[in-house]
Structure formats: structure tokens, C-alpha cells
């Protein structure tokens, strides 16, 4: 099997995809912007060949790289980045070279929030009503129908980028000043008191779920960024059956095969859920590492096994909670990394600096810590986030 990894170097923790694919007998080729010497010896050993381009944003240049590898090594079986930023590039390349997986036409339903909402409804999953806004007239009509507060986010966009909470006439005037009619927005009611949570996993080549999990955030993403708050999120030991039912219905209706998925929900105060977004990729940052710590699994290796047709081998040990908890450089905390390791011992699975691309959102210093009970989860988050007086 010939497998092209787009941007094999970044993010750093995704380099393990290359290592596990090679161990599974796959010929792995990389296309990226970094100099070959920058890759490091371990990644170099996992790549059968590396083709450097000046910019991955230059689609024609990347297509020439794929054409070269195709000519030299034969047909390409997979092209993948596992990275939100390159999903459209991946799809264009698959289409150009007739490679298995999502093509450009398949991305409409996972790119536009308005299209996602239609499929959520079709799957029978609750949503909050929303409206596409292309200009100030659309904005006025949407606010009149929805009332305030509302959330305004690009219909096609990633995460909380360019997202606004509109709670007053002043907010609306500010948003109107920012509104560029080249960007289509999607407006929906702000969900008061909602707990942000997910249904995540991996589908096999038939589109069936091979692995599933869920995590919850302590605060919604928009509030986290705007307030530069302390973050923690928790891989759950069990998935709420209602959330699981909704998640499975969404995965089925989207029909993606051999894909990681990351579906965001708000859990309402009455215990029900509303679906927010379907992401056709892994959750970002170090979340895949947290899955591995929580489930005593190597998802990188299991993904390689699934891709090569060997199936997915589920772990046979009970899973734990895994908390991703961060500290921000802007604040002074009572407990540093040494104190955290001294307190929680081998439950501290991971202590790393966050890449700059994620630091503003999540924080600067990241810890992954396992726990057996909710009481331990609360103890860990209190200890890590305790600030100096």
C-alpha cells in the first residue's frame, strides 16, 4: 500500500501516524514545507520518500509532488493529513489522482454549518434553529426571528475563529462594522447554561463505528477564548446513552468511511442535547493522546490496522477518565509541573508545552492526567488551576 501523508511533521504528535503505518507494512510518503533535515531521524526513517514543497497552499505545486510520487512508486492508495486545515486539499488531490476517500463534492456537508444542520434534523437529532446571513438585511431579519443573544460564526469555518456573541444593539452595530459580505455567516441562538461535550470516534471501511468516546469541557470555547479562562476537558468513562444514540444517528447519516469524527453538542439543563457541528477529523491538540491514555490503546496503530484491512482491535481493559488541563503563562499558579507530578505520580501521563497555534485557545502548559473517579477529576483540576494569592 502506498500512503501519502500531507504535512507529516506538523502537528508533532501526529508524526506517530507515519511510524505506525510503516510498522503495518505501508509505504509512507510525505509532502510538506519543512526541510528534510528538520524532520528528525525518527520521522525520516518512517517515510519512504519526502517531497518538499514551498507552500502547501499552492495546490498546483502539491499536485506536481503527488504526480512525481505516483510516477515513481505506482498508484497511491491513500492521501491524508488528519488536519482540519488541509481537508479541502486532501479531497482535491484524491479527486485528481482517483484515490480512495472523500472528494471535493463530499465536503459540502462537513464544511458548511447550514448543511450540517439539515443532516442533523434528518437524523432526528435536536438542533437550535439558525439562519444564513450574507448581508446586513439578512442579519436584521435573523435577529428579529431569533432574538438576542445569538452566536454569529462563519458558515464555513474552523473552531471559534471570527465568532461573535451578540447580546445587545451595540454588539450588533459592532458586528455590522466587521461584517464583510464576502464571508457568509450563520446565526443561531446562544444556548444559556449549555455544557459543551462531544461524541468522537473512528469509522471503518464500511462506515461502521470501530471506536467511540466522549469528552466534556468545563466552559464553552467562545467564553474560554474571550475570557482567557483556565481550561480542562475530560474523556468520560461512560457515554450517556442519549448522547450515544444521537451521535450514532449522525455518523450514519453523514456516511463517512475510514474517518475520524468529532461531533460537538451542547447538553442542556434538562439533560437533552442539541447538535452543533460535525468535524470530519480528529479533535485537535493532544486529544488523540488522551484517548490512548484513557483507553489503554494505541489509536495510531489501530488506525493503521484498519486502513490495511486487518481490522480494529478493541482494548480489553477498563477505561479511565483522562483530564486535559492547562495553565496559562499570563497567570501565576500555586503548583508547577514538579508539584503536579509529586502529587499525582504515574497518573500524570503527559506534560508538554502547547504549540503556539493552540496556546491562545487552550493555554500554554498542557497536562494529561488519568483518574478513576469524578472526585479525583475534581481534585486534579483544582490542584492544577490553583493560583497564587
* Domains annotated on the chain, with CATH: 2-101 (3.40.50.20), 129-189 (3.30.1490.20), 195-385 (3.30.470.20)
CA atoms within 13 Å, Cβ hemisphere of 182: 0
pLDDT, position 158? 61
Q: Is the dihedral of CA 205, 261, 305, 93 positive or negative?
A: positive
In 3D space, the residue among 151, 149, 155 whose CA is nearest the CA of residue 185 turns out to be 155
Tens of pLDDT along 122-149? 999 999 989 999 998 999 999 999 999 9
For 236, other C-beta atoms within 10 Å of its C-beta total 19
For 103, other C-beta atoms within 10 Å of its C-beta total 15
pLDDT, position 42? 98
Peptide bond into 84 cis (omega under 30): no
Pairing of strands 27-32, 2-6: parallel
Q: What is the DSSP letter of 200?
A: E
pLDDT, position 161? 61
pTM of this structure: 0.94
Q: What is the DSSP letter of 352?
A: E
3-class SS shares of the chain: helix, strand, coil, % to 5: 40, 25, 35
Amino acid at each position: 500500500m502506498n500512503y501519502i501523508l500531507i504535512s507529516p511533521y506538523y502537528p508533532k504528535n501526529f508524526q506517530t501516524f507515519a511510524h505506525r503505518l510503516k510498522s503495518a507494512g505501508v509505504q509512507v510518503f510525505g509532502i510538506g514545507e519543512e526541510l528534510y533535515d528538520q524532520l528528525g531521524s525518527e520521522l525520516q526513517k518512517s517515510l519512504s520518500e519526502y517531497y518538499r514543497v514551498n507552500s502547501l497552499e499552492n495546490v498546483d505545486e502539491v499536485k506536481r509532488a503527488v504526480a512525481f510520487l505516483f510516477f515513481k512508486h505506482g498508484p497511491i492508495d491513500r492521501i491524508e493529513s488528519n488536519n482540519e486545515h488541509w481537508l479541502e486539499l486532501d479531497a482535491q488531490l484524491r479527486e485528481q489522482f482517483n484515490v480512495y476517500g472523500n472528494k471535493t463534492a463530499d465536503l459540502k456537508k462537513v464544511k458548511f454549518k447550514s448543511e450540517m444542520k439539515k443532516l442533523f434534523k434528518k437524523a432526528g437529532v435536536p438542533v437550535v434553529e439558525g439562519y444564513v446571513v450574507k448581508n446586513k438585511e439578512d442579519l436584521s431579519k435573523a435577529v428579529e426571528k431569533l432574538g438576542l443573544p445569538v452566536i454569529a460564526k462563519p458558515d464555513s469555518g474552523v473552531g471559534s475563529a471570527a465568532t461573535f456573541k451578540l447580546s445587545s444593539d451595540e454588539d450588533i452595530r459592532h458586528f455590522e462594522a466587521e461584517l464583510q459580505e464576502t464571508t457568509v455567516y450563520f446565526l443561531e441562538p446562544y444556548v444559556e447554561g449549555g455544557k459543551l461535550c462531544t461524541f468522537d470516534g473512528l469509522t471503518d471501511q464500511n462506515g461502521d463505528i470501530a471506536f467511540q468516546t466522549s469528552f466534556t469541557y468545563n466552559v464553552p470555547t467562545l467564553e474560554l477564548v474571550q475570557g482567557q479562562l483556565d481550561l480542562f476537558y475530560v474523556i468520560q468513562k461512560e457515554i450517556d446513552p442519549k448522547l450515544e444514540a444521537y451521535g450514532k444517528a449522525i455518523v450514519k447519516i453523514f456516511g463517512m468511511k475510514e474517518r475520524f469524527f468529532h461531533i460537538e453538542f451542547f447538553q442542556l439543563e434538562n439533560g437533552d442535547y442539541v447538535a452543533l457541528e460535525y468535524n470530519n477529523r480528529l479533535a485537535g491538540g493532544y486529544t488523540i493522546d488522551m484517548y490512548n491514555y484513557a483507553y489503554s490503546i494505541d489509536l495510531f496503530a489501530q488506525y493503521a490496522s484498519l486502513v490495511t484491512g486487518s481490522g480494529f482491535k478493541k482494548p480489553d481493559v477498563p477505561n479511565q477518565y483522562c483530564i486535559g488541563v492547562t495553565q496559562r503563562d499570563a497567570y501565576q499558579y500555586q503548583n508547577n509541573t514538579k508539584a503536579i507530578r509529586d502529587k499525582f505520580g504515574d497518573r500524570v501521563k503527559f506534560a508538554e508545552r502547547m504549540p503556539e497555534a493552540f496556546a491562545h485557545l487552550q493555554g500554554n502548559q498542557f497536562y494529561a492526567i488519568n483518574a478513576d473517579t469524578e472526585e479525583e477529576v475534581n481534585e486534579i483540576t483544582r490542584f492544577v488551576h490553583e493560583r497564587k494569592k
